[in-house]
Structure 1
Amino acid sequence: MLLRHIRYLLAVAEHRNFTRAAEALHVSQPTLSQQIRQLEESLGAPLLDRSGRSISLTDAGQAYVRFARLALQDLEAGSRAMHDVQDLSRGHLRLAMTPTFTAYLIGPLLARFNRLYPGITLSIEELTQDRIEAALGEDLLDIGIGFTGEHGPDIECEALFVEQLSVVVGANHPQSSRLVWLEQPLVLLNTGFATRRHIDDYCRRQGVKPRIAMQANSISAIIEIVRNTPLATVLPQALAEAQRGLRAVIIDPPLPQRTAALLSRKGAYRSAACRAFVELIKAQPTTD
């Protein structure tokens, strides 16, 4: 059995079609079929059910693929470890964060990281926390920035700082000094965002129904809407302080706090670049 056999099987399992899998692997379909047959013969069991319109895994195939994915992740981590540059003169970091952090935390943080380690390249993604955890589990990320709470069994969570949510209005909001926020029309993130779930939980506890005039799936869009309209929103207080033309409004009872956290896959190898980033973000001043 060779490593390519595992890669070929995983591609067929993902695409559920020999033609599409062969195209993704840049091999011919007969070559792919032959390699899968060789793997099945070496294991002594059929791994694929070819009887339907699309290819599916047999019970044996499902069991094997689960461990094959883990083995491939470990092999790729081993390759990165072997080529890791301990002096940080070069390297690569794969990072993702939930959307609110892109508006106030990540810019200054990565500016410092780049000044300290200019030879390190970064891949940065903005994802929901569920997608961050899935990407960590598939070894597509080195580290994520999200929140404490419930996580998958393979995810390790390290608390960073407490983040305070706040009502946010434009700097020239006509009622900014006497805002009764639940009486105001709001623009909120849609329900796929952790921030929105915190807001909805707060409203349920208070027994109120907010007046939602707009919903969006973009932090930058919400910021521009609040800057240019009388609408209010709910976002981290630190974001309002970092963004020009916004103002945080204190309400009673206060909106919930939440704890920002580093997310990683349990047992995953941390490169020198990843360790340097973790050290830098942990040295950040905490957010009150």
Structure 2
Amino acid sequence: MAPTFRQIQAFLAVAEHLKFVKAAEELHVSQPALTVQINQLEAALSIKLFNRTKRQVSLTAAGKDLLPLFERIASDMDNVMAASSDIHEARRGVVRIACLPSVAARIVPIAMARFRETHPNIRVHVRDVLGEEIVEMVKMNAVDFGIGARLTPDREIKVEGFLTDHICAFYQKGHPLEGATGNLKLNDCVRYPLILTSLNSSVRVLFERSMAREGVEVDIAGEANYMSTALGMVRAGMGVAILPMSAIDAGNAQGLGYRPIDAPWLNRRIGFIRKASGSLSPVAEHFVKALQDAGESLPNATFQSSRRSDSAI
């Protein structure tokens, strides 16, 4: 059998004091128990480590050769315990997340800046990707957790509610939608050429479902992966963009008008996505809390905090 760490500690204590009585006192064990541990270590190694008489204890040549190796093992174990404590207390480590570009542009940087003040030795790696990619990265363990929308049932992941992102129509100033009275309906928007996000985006999936619900056909003037590109198309006069309100921060909507669309089923619910079969590390849990605090504390936030149960997402 391989030596145990307790046996190695026993060897080091005896090697230091060269007295079993003092070594036993240091380790808070009885002398007979200490003797058993040394005997077991010697049996495991098939090597005699100490010369023992009634009056004297000394290291054998083999014991002297193994002493620095056992000291290194003990030092490594101390480092392991210290590192484990740091990770448990969120004093060091790495957090890897994948999130929607809109969240990465607004809330994540604020949470990171605050988090760095209280956890300076924790690094946060952020991947801003589209909705389907987030889920796949979580399932492949490429990240600790994701921030996105669950659009289809998937038993491999679980989602904790975080934010609600209201869907809006973005248009050039002076567009007829700007002066329309009452709540803006989806049918009011589909009268005009539309600019939409790409097919694998969460906003597009919600929009397509809404169109099927309304039974309406639309004129798609342009598609874009990123909201900044979609807003650029609006600025160029190509049409009306259907985007989440967070595009105000993520895509530079300066000079454009926008209005929320009154269609609750179109709003995007964003949550923390993690594997159903696993649990987050302590440092990742601490960063989730930092994100929640950032989401709730933003003044005039384009997102609304939405701490719901998993079934609500």
Pair 1:204–1:278, CA change in 2 (3 A): same
- Stretch moving more, 230-239 or 107-116: 107-116
Instruction: Kindly provide the amino acid, as one letter, of the partner of residue 237 in structure 1.
Output: M
Kept after mapping to 1: 8 A contact 2:149/2:269: yes
CA distance in 1, matches of 2:87, 2:249: 38
SS in 1 for 2:106: coil
CA distance in 1, matches of 2:94, 2:141: 14
- The residue aligned with 2:227 is 219
CA deviation map 1:264-283 (0-9, x unaligned): 11242422320111112223
Q: Are positions 1:193 and 2:201 aligned together?
A: yes
Residue 206 (structure 1) shift? 1.6
Instruction: Give the alignment of 1:238-257 within 5 angstroms.
Output: 238-240=246-248, 243-245=252-254, 246-252=256-262, 256-257=266-267
CA distance in 2, matches of 1:130, 1:212: 22
Residue 97 (structure 1) shift? 1.0
CA deviation map 1:41-84 (0-9, x unaligned): xxxxxxxxxxxxxxxxxxxxxxxxxxxxxxxxxxxxxxxx9485
Instruction: Give the alignment of 1:11-22 within 5 angstroms.
Output: none
- The residue aligned with 2:285 is 275
Instruction: Kindly provide the amino acid, as one letter, of the partner of residue 184 in structure 1.
Output: Y
Residue 228 (structure 1) shift? 4.2
Kept after mapping to 1: 8 A contact 2:165/2:269: yes
Q: Give the gaps of 5 or more residues in structure 2.
A: 1-82, 181-187, 297-302, 306-313
Residue 260 (structure 1) shift? 1.0
- The residue aligned with 2:189 is 181
CA distance in 2, matches of 1:96, 1:83: 26
Residue 236 (structure 1) shift? 1.2
Instruction: Give the alignment of 1:30-41 within 5 angstroms.
Output: none
With normalisation by structure 1, the TM-score equals: 0.62
Instruction: Kindly provide the amino acid, as one letter, of the partner of residue 200 in structure 1.
Output: E
Match of 2:269 among 259, 265, 280: 259
SS in 1 for 2:178: coil
CA deviation map 1:130-166 (0-9, x unaligned): 3322222222110100124534222121111322111
Q: Give the gaps of 5 or more residues in structure 1.
A: 1-80
Instruction: Kindly provide the amino acid, as one letter, of the partner of residue 174 in structure 1.
Output: H
Kept after mapping to 1: 8 A contact 2:138/2:274: yes
With normalisation by structure 2, the TM-score equals: 0.58
Instruction: Kindly provide the amino acid, as one letter, of the partner of residue 159 in structure 1.
Output: G
CA deviation map 1:17-64 (0-9, x unaligned): xxxxxxxxxxxxxxxxxxxxxxxxxxxxxxxxxxxxxxxxxxxxxxxx
CA deviation map 1:162-202 (0-9, x unaligned): 221111224x3533423642122222112111210111111
Match of 2:242 among 234, 247, 265: 234
Residue 261 (structure 1) shift? 0.7
Match of 1:210 among 193, 218, 221: 218
SS in 1 for 2:290: helix
CA distance in 2, matches of 1:267, 1:250: 38
Q: Identity rate of aligned residues, in percent?
A: 22
Kept after mapping to 2: 8 A contact 1:85/1:91: yes
RMSD: 3.0
- The residue aligned with 2:51 is none
Residue 119 (structure 1) shift? 2.4
CA distance in 2, matches of 1:238, 1:231: 19
Pair 1:220–1:110, CA change in 2 (3 A): farther
CA distance in 1, matches of 2:235, 2:117: 32
Instruction: Kindly provide the amino acid, as one letter, of the partner of residue 257 in structure 2.
Output: R
Kept after mapping to 1: 8 A contact 2:196/2:242: yes
Residue 126 (structure 1) shift? 2.2
Residue 215 (structure 1) shift? 0.9
Kept after mapping to 1: 8 A contact 2:247/2:253: no
- The residue aligned with 2:110 is 108
Q: How many residues align?
A: 209
CA distance in 2, matches of 1:225, 1:166: 16
